[in-house]
A and B are shown apart, each in its own frame.
Chain A
Amino acid sequence: MPQDRIRNFSIVAHIDHGKSTLADRVLELTETVSGRQMRDQLLDSMDLERERGITIKAQAVRVAWKGHQLNLIDTPGHVDFTYEVSRALQACEGALLLVDAAQGLEAQTLANAYLAIENDLEIVPVVNKIDLPQASPDEAAGDLSELIGGSPEDVLRISAKTGDGVDAVLDAIVERIPPPAGVPNAPPRALIFDSSYDQYRGVVAFVRVVDGSFSTREPLRTMALDTRFEAEELGFFSPTMSPTPTLQAGEVGYVITGLKDVSKLRVGDTLTSESRSASEPLPGYKDVKPMVFAGLFPTDSDDYPELRDALEKLKLNDASLVYEPETSQALGFGFRCGFLGLLHMEIVRERLEREFDLDLLVTAPTVAYRVLTKDGAEVEVHNPAEMPSEIERIEEPYIKASVIVPREYVGAVMELCNDRRGAFDHMEYLSEQRVLLLYELPLAEVVIDFYDQLKSRTRGYASFDYDLAGFREGELVRVDVLIAGETVDALSLIAHRANAYPRGKQLVERLREEIPRQMFDVAVQAAIGSRVIARETIKAKRKDVLAKCYGGDITRKRKLLERQKAGKKRMKQVGAVEVPQEAFLAVLNLDGGKR
């Protein structure tokens, strides 16, 4: 297909604003899928995505419209996947900016819209759900045109649900979005904007060909990681996999690489031919680093091998997931895992529990700290228990948070951000009712329950997004928890000096409630170094006897004691103290629940 007949676009929208429904209508209207095949929200293939209403993995679908080839590149909608979104956007020349006529602009939409504008994409503004009774399309259209510059008349008004106006959207894509402008005869270059793993065919790369063309069976290589392989098959989605002998400049499709290791192929990398190698890679590749860390432990330690296998399998489809074995004296064998963000963590945890049927204990999430030790070494710490003791300086990651909220909740949001050591940046009225607040916040204060708090303090109206804003020095301390004088590694945490005391106090109080009384007094302490900042005592039991024990009772009493002993074996032994797993669970969940 000549490039002037190709249009590559994606849809930028907030969760639930109708992106998948619009994609479905596009497939129907272009007769890519027959009505019988049509399954609602076809593009979201994983159950989990369907349930959460988000799309984790980008996919590209080719449709035909009035003699043109349109490639719809689907983008993930969430903040944790900003880099993936930016790569997907880079594969396009234009984007539909889709906004719910009733909800208006949301923080995520805004963030992704800015991302699209930064990538020089032609933005086609679309107001969706005009059929809803509470819709105010004029207001939404006004906001949109103000955001991207232009007239409200240019804003398309549609109902993806009923199909009303969708043909005009397709026409606008052809008319307004420029065709690709690569060089067809140059050495081939393609942007890898996503990948997935197929257990039979190995790693599948989703690519946008920028220059030149690729053929089946051609030896290829990636320019950043220098991975070499032969293209086993080229093709595109319509919406199922359709093989094709070549992929040409401007086209979007897939490459079956035969690679067995997903980490060999990175999103953002440039694919070229071995024999006709391009000299310069496409711009923008970066190695995405996980920012949020947590320990994952099987509740039943016998499940450790299953957890390891499950992580290996997940990793095949998710190059951003990192993990390494972790041994906790309290929780046994597990893994310290790194995630792009909180949602990513939740998705991984849910997939492990649902798809692999594992029962997991997840420690309180923490962030990556940069630590300069007294002897001048610089280390990155992902686990509070590994925080060195002789510290010169600790730096923690900060984010630039944008919150969009109805104006009556501005006070509540500011209060929350101030509680979380936030620094106010600026505030802006997006409309008479809606306010954009920008704050800089330590990521550590956000990973715990910021989002839940934000939602509950604004009755669910706030929308939230963030960008990493670099590392800053902080007055941070490690708080250890000691049970009967023994440090419990899984419960160590890093806190700002000002919060250390209340958090330590709360932890030990909670543990006192959760740990059953023993046959001796047990001290539960929180300490910074050797200084105890909070202490509780679990008083020893005074009596524990089986009252009667005669001929008829012996079997029953014996079984009772045997059960009791078996129960003790299941407990985690901290020194001489038996701590039920539930106690750890309750304490770890505390950080997710209340503060």
Chain B
Amino acid sequence: MIERTVRHLYVHLPFCAHRCGYCDFVTISGRARDHSPYIHALLREFELERHVLAPELETVFLGGGTPTFTEPSELGRLLHALPPAAEVTVEANPETVTPELALLLRRGGVTRVSLGAQSFQPKLLEVLERRAGPDAVRRAFYHLRDASFDNISLDLLYGIPGQSASDLDRDLSEVLALEPEHLSCYELEAKPGTRFTYAHGAELTHQAEAMETYFERVVETLTAAGYRWYETANFCLGPHRAAGRDLRARHNLGYWLGRDYLGIGLGAVSTIEGVRRRNTPRLAVYVTALEGGSPPAREVETLDREVRSRERLMLRLRLDEPLLLEPVESAVDHEALGRLVGLGLVRREGSGGRTALTLTPRGRLLGGGVTAELLA
């Protein structure tokens, strides 16, 4: 029996006002009447699983869906029932952020809000089927600041169909003008089977070459503005602009450092002591099981040492800090490593047991391919 060791908790709130065309997360649109039974079930699952949690949590993360779309009374009930933690993050969509909601979050112990801005160009937001316009994004940001949130992250998407390089530059300067503590920048992926891929897939393929430099552009602009590119797709204010605070997303850092985490809620994933399990993504199945006092149906995957080493390699190389080679040695193709070092994509420092690997800036731009090649 695993007891009281896990320091990271993820809570999934699947409800959204509307499912965006490009989304392939576990989400449920509308259905306000489902919110209360769901929160009820969620708290039951929490009671069943809380024994694995350490007495003091480092992070709690409420992700979605759109957690802030959940009925405010239910959201408030949930926040008060969850244990406190050094970092409590809630994902929010701009159109849901009112002064009241900001206050509710604040009072519920939330320390950090991750705001899904995506873009500041009305035409691109339309392509993405986002409801909030650019003004709503800015307004939401100010409401959060007014509620004295001093750790706000913005999500930005690039590579949107029809997005020109100057559109991207405009988005970046809009973002910088708000001075968020943290930024997540993702290339839009046309995931198979989504409505979006159906509508825009061909166009995206066509533009792929033109958009190839956008990632570099994002990295250059943000680092020049004093942000630290600490993970492949994540940036935080650098030390000299952060007054000594470490503004990296601590919850996500937990994933990238290979720490154990408990996930509760619909489709949520936990990884604890080499076992990864995923809750059912079906709402009725989930709620019914927990109403009857049983844990929800789960997919279970056992991670052997090799797999854990590979994951560690894959995740750690996303970070800007050196990775000690020794613990992941068996996962590394040494011939490939030599080749990649020769190509200036990987930096190898130290020697013997202190040998550490870091991707060079160009290696980070090609991180997926580099990691795939590096895997034994």
Residues from chain B with Cβ under 8 Å of A544 in the complex: 365-370
B339 within 8 A of A: yes
Q: Chain B's nearest CB lies how many Å from the CB of A235?
A: 63
Report B236-290 residues with CB < 8 Å from chain A CB. Answer: 252, 255-256, 261, 263, 267-269, 271, 276, 278
Report A529-550 residues with CB < 8 Å from chain B CB. Answer: 541-550
Known: A542-B212, A543-B212. A552 touches B267 (CB 8 A): yes
Docked CA distance A547–B187 (Å): 6
User: Inter-chain contact count A-B, CB under 8 Å?
Assistant: 100
Q: Is the CB of A558 within 8 A of B369?
A: no
Closest residue of chain B to A546 (Cβ to Cβ) is: B368
B186 within 8 A of A: yes
Residues from chain A with Cβ under 8 Å of B261 in the complex: 551
- The contact size tier of chain B is 35 or more
A564 within 8 A of B: yes
Residues from chain A with Cβ under 8 Å of B255 in the complex: 549-551, 554
Docked CA distance A549–B216 (Å): 19
Q: Chain B's nearest CB lies how many Å from the CB of A175?
A: 75
Q: Is the CB of A558 within 8 A of B212?
A: no
B142 within 8 A of A: no
Q: Is the CB of B186 within 8 A of A561?
A: no
Residues from chain B with Cβ under 8 Å of A549 in the complex: 232-233, 255-256, 315, 318
Docked CA distance A552–B278 (Å): 8
B291 within 8 A of A: no
B189 within 8 A of A: yes
A564-595 vs B, CB cutoff 8 Å, 1 = contact: the mask equals 11001000000010000000000000000000
Residues from chain B with Cβ under 8 Å of A562 in the complex: 310, 375
Docked CA distance A541–B209 (Å): 10
Docked CA distance A541–B233 (Å): 18
A555 within 8 A of B: yes
Residues from chain B with Cβ under 8 Å of A546 in the complex: 232, 367-368
Report B193-250 residues with CB < 8 Å from chain A CB. Answer: 212-213, 215-216, 232-233
B372 within 8 A of A: yes
Residues from chain B with Cβ under 8 Å of A552 in the complex: 263, 267-269, 278
Closest residue of chain A to B186 (Cβ to Cβ) is: A547
Docked CA distance A262–B310 (Å): 55
Q: Which of A520, A547, A548, A555 contacts B301 (CB 8 A)?
A: A555
B174 within 8 A of A: no
Q: Chain A's nearest CB lies how many Å from the CB of B327?
A: 17
Docked CA distance A558–B366 (Å): 16
Residues from chain A with Cβ under 8 Å of B271 in the complex: 551, 554
Report B291-333 residues with CB < 8 Å from chain A CB. Answer: 301, 307, 310-311, 314-315, 318, 333
A264 within 8 A of B: no
B151 within 8 A of A: no
Residues from chain B with Cβ under 8 Å of A542 in the complex: 212-213, 215-216, 365
B345 within 8 A of A: yes
Known: A547-B233, A549-B232. A558 touches B310 (CB 8 A): yes
Q: Is the CB of A545 within 8 A of B232?
A: yes
A427 within 8 A of B: no
Q: Chain A's nearest CB lies how many Å from the CB of B361?
A: 12
Docked CA distance A233–B345 (Å): 74
Q: Which of B232, B315, B369, B375 contacts A519 (CB 8 A)?
A: B369
Residues from chain B with Cβ under 8 Å of A555 in the complex: 269, 276, 301
Main secondary structure of the interface of A (DSSP, over half): loop
Residues from chain B with Cβ under 8 Å of A558 in the complex: 307, 310-311, 314
Closest residue of chain B to A575 (Cβ to Cβ) is: B339
Q: Is the CB of A561 within 8 A of B233?
A: no
- The contact size tier of chain A is 20 to 34
Q: Is the CB of A561 within 8 A of B368?
A: yes
A557 within 8 A of B: yes
B58 within 8 A of A: no
Q: Chain B's nearest CB lies how many Å from the CB of A65?
A: 71
Known: A519-B343, A545-B232, A547-B186. A565 touches B373 (CB 8 A): yes
Docked CA distance A557–B317 (Å): 13
Docked CA distance A549–B319 (Å): 12
Docked CA distance A554–B276 (Å): 10
Docked CA distance A543–B370 (Å): 11
Q: Which of A543, A565, A576 contacts B215 (CB 8 A)?
A: A543
Residues from chain A with Cβ under 8 Å of B216 in the complex: 542-543
Closest residue of chain B to A552 (Cβ to Cβ) is: B269
Q: Which of A519, A548, A550, A554 contacts B345 (CB 8 A)?
A: A519
Docked CA distance A549–B343 (Å): 26
Q: Which of A547, A548, A554, A576 contacts B343 (CB 8 A)?
A: A576
Q: Is the CB of B215 within 8 A of A545?
A: yes
Closest residue of chain B to A567 (Cβ to Cβ) is: B372
Report B326-363 residues with CB < 8 Å from chain A CB. Answer: 333, 339-340, 343, 345
Q: Which of A548, A557, A564, A576 contacts B233 (CB 8 A)?
A: A548
Q: Is the CB of A561 within 8 A of B375?
A: yes
Q: Is the CB of B372 within 8 A of A551?
A: no
Q: Is the CB of A565 within 8 A of B233?
A: no
Q: Chain A's nearest CB lies how many Å from the CB of B248?
A: 14
Q: Chain B's nearest CB lies how many Å from the CB of A342?
A: 40
A488-501 vs B, CB cutoff 8 Å, 1 = contact: the mask equals 00000000000000
Q: Is the CB of B307 within 8 A of A550?
A: no
Closest residue of chain A to B12 (Cβ to Cβ) is: A552
Docked CA distance A546–B233 (Å): 9
CB-defined A-B contacts under 8 Å, sample of 8: A519-B340, A542-B212, A544-B365, A549-B232, A549-B255, A551-B261, A552-B269, A568-B373
A residues whose Cβ falls under 8 Å from a Cβ of B: 519-520, 541-552, 554-555, 557-558, 561-562, 564-565, 568, 576
In order of increasing CB-CB distance, the 8 nearest A-B pairs are A564-B372, A544-B369, A543-B215, A547-B186, A552-B269, A542-B212, A544-B368, A565-B375
